Amino acid sequence: MAGESAGREDGTGVERTAAVNDDTGVVEETVRIAARPETVWRYWTDPERMCAWWGAAAELDPRPGGACIVEMDGGPVMRGEYVELIPHERIVFTFGWDPTDGAPDVPPGSSRVEVTLTSDGDDTILALRHTGLPSAFRTMHAEGWRHVLPRLVHAAASPDREQKKASEK
């Protein structure tokens, strides 16, 4: 496996593992989030919360067959469709880019993102698996997920946890 890193803090305060498997073409990323799965779920299904960590605008219809569209800040548009939703546990959607200048040549719906949320005490372990990417764009998308997932970690962090830490001092 190329580009693998085992459970470490990455300088952003985010505990994560990441890998791009050159044999299978799978991009995988795992992060720990200081929030319950119910909270993290909303950051994948609510347009306003989605924009707190990924994109400038979002059109989300979180049901099988519903739209999953995220417009990047001043850039391309990710266009997909929800495939599977198990509340607070799993989200699967297709993924690709509208053809435009600066967008990778990954047609809408041509790849697939699977997000699994696992409760771990008051935290959530988020495992992301992105499949079906052309080999020329795997590293680019792995880097993209490495960029945006720490933003999700910080956006979804529970305010209750911060209040609890402050009261324990």
Summarised one tens digit per residue, pLDDT across range 39-76 is 999 999 999 999 999 999 999 999 999 999 999 988 89
CATH of domain 13-156: 3.30.530.20
How many angstroms separate the CA atoms of 129 and 30, rounded? Answer: 9
pLDDT at res. 9:
54
Q: What is the mean pLDDT of residues 80-108?
A: 96
pLDDT tens for 21-32 read 777 789 999 999
Cα dihedral 116, 124, 72, 147 in deg (nearest 10): -100
How many angstroms separate the CA atoms of 125 and 117, rounded? Answer: 6
pLDDT tens for 112-145 read 999 999 999 999 999 999 999 999 999 999 999 9
Given a cut of 70, whether residue 158 has pLDDT beyond it is no
The contacts found for 87-90 with CB under 8 angstroms, 24 or more apart, are 87/41, 88/37, 88/38, 88/41, 88/117, 89/37, 89/116, 89/117, 89/118, 90/114, 90/115, 90/116, 90/117
Per-residue pLDDT band at 163 (split at 50, 70, 90): very low
Residues near 24 by beta carbon (within 8 Å), at least 6 away in sequence: 131
pLDDT at res. 161:
53
Query: Which pTM does this prediction carry?
Result: 0.85
Given a cut of 60, whether residue 166 has pLDDT beyond it is no
For residue 80, give the nearest of 90, 66, 99 by alpha carbon. Answer: 66
More confident residue, 14 or 145: 145
Mean pLDDT, the chain, rounded, equals 88
Residues near 120 by beta carbon (within 8 Å), at least 6 away in sequence: 32
| SS3 assignment, position 64 | coil
Given a cut of 80, whether residue 14 has pLDDT beyond it is no
